[in-house]
Amino acid sequence: MQAARGVLVLNAGSSSLKFAVVDPDTGAQRLSGIGESLGDSDPRVSWRCDDETGHLALDPGAAHAAVLDYLVGELLPAQPALRAQLIAVGHRIVHGGEHFAQSVLIDGDVIATIEDCAALAPLHNPPGLLGIRAARRAFAQLDQVAVFDTAFHQSLPPHAYLYALPYRLYREHRIRRYGMHGSSYRFVSERAAALLQRPLSALNIIATHLGNGASVAAIKSGTSADTSMGLTPLEGLVMGTRCGDLDAGVLIHLAESLGYAVAEIRALLNRDSGLLGISGLSNDCRELERAAGNGHRGARLALEIFCYRLAKYIAAYTVPLQRVDALVFTGGIGENSTWVRAQTLEWLRGLGYRLDSARNRQMRAGAEGAITAAGSPLALVIPTNEEWVIARDAARLVAAQE
Ligand code: AMP
């Protein structure tokens, strides 16, 4: 029997850093943890390793580097058996521009290219680079692999990825739509093929990744044909704190008529909008559902706009796919919110979707399966596992070198 192997997976968000040691063969996580509220007044780390758990308050203002110091300086050295299993470090990198259509082993050139792409994802690529540098220092003998959110969507055709802007902006500055959540889409589309017992190459899937960030993808024969996020993760669906699609004229109006500075517009669109901005209450779907149930009008309106926009995108993606074999819900909201799924399918009655309410109620907390009634086009809930995709890619690239 092969000895257990582990890949250290690092997933750096703008104010969080998730880490895990993932078995690339089974997806099992012996260690998992998260550093949250990084850069804020009360940053903290929590983790679980087998049956042990730990929580640590970091110094006010501490950010990604402090979490990495703790991980490589204290947590992993205290688990020598786990440390000894490590065969690689896998990094989730949000933006690879047009440079990466696949995961790659990290070297100096790759780092320089990720740096170049940082202008396209200023909140995400820099912490990803911090993670790469810290891991290279701490694990000099281990290969490092970059897995890009954008890579999966490099198959988009020009009519899907170009904005109707002067073409020179694309030619000279690579301003185009890139898409995100690629690892999640790879995982759920492969899982959908397994559940349907059909080859992925024969399937057309509309997948919705609904977490704090949210997007939709039209996946044709296992490749992305269209997706809702664009140059940055701002475009598309209503999200926890991001506005999604917006008339670009609003930005001009904010700047010209209301005197907003660029930094204020950035904060408004990324941090203060979406479910939080509409409801005036929270970006958390659970809290909004509770409040809407208690009559909070803003919470109800936020959830309604979220579902309506989502349903419109799903309907639009019948255009590139023509035939849709499965609609997939994933991400924290997609996997758990019976209300959001029911409301979204209600909007899609015109396309024939009919919910099976009992099945819909069963699909939560990691459950996987169909939520539609007999005779309806198929909608599935599939819990995603981006960490496993990253670990698998890292193990494959390391093995290919040997
Ligand atoms: P993620 O970014 O994938 O972790 O997803 C976070 C989102 O999932 C938040 O809006 C949560 O409120 C939402 N979520 C998690 N569990 C539930 C649940 N049981 N019901 C509704 N929303 C949930």
- Nearest ligand 1 atom to the CA of 364 is 19
Q: Give the Cα separation of 143 and 387 in Å (integer).
A: 17
| Ligand 1 pocket by Cβ (under 6 Å) | 211-212, 240, 284-286, 289, 331-333, 336-337, 364
Give the chain's residues under pLDDT 50: none
User: Residue 206 to residues 86, 231, 273, 328, 361: CA-CA distances in angstroms?
Assistant: 35, 21, 26, 6, 21
- Phi and psi torsions of 49, nearest 5°: -135, 110
Tokens coding 298: 């803003």
Pairing relationship of beta strands 214-220 and 204-210 according to DSSP bridges: antiparallel
Q: How far is the CA of 334 from the centre of ligand 1 (A)?
A: 8
How many angstroms is it from 199 CA to the middle of ligand 1?
30
Instruction: Tell me the β-bridge partners of 146.
Output: 91, 104
> Using CA atoms, how far apart are residues 36 and 63, in angstroms rounded to an integer?
9
- Ligand 1 nearest atom to the CA of residue 331, by list position: 3
Q: Which domains does the chain have, with CATH numbers?
A: 6-155 (3.30.420.40), 198-381 (3.30.420.40)
User: Has this prediction a pTM greater than 0.75?
Assistant: yes
* Helices marked H in 71-205: 80-85, 108-117, 125-138, 158-161, 167-173, 182-196
Residues with a catalytic annotation lie at 149
Q: What is the DSSP letter of 119?
A: G
Q: What is the dihedral of CA 103, 109, 114, 116, to 10 degrees?
A: -140
Amino acid at 52: E
Distance 153 CA to ligand 1 centre (A): 25
Q: Quick one: pLDDT at residue 1?
A: 54
- Gap from CA of 338 to ligand 1 centroid (Å): 11
DSSP letter, residue 372: B
Residue 131: its pLDDT value, please?
86
The residue whose C-alpha atom lies closest to atom 20 belonging to ligand 1 is 337
Nearest atom of ligand 1 to the alpha carbon of 240: 10
pLDDT of residue 140: 86
Shortest-distance Cα residue to atom 1 of ligand 1: 211
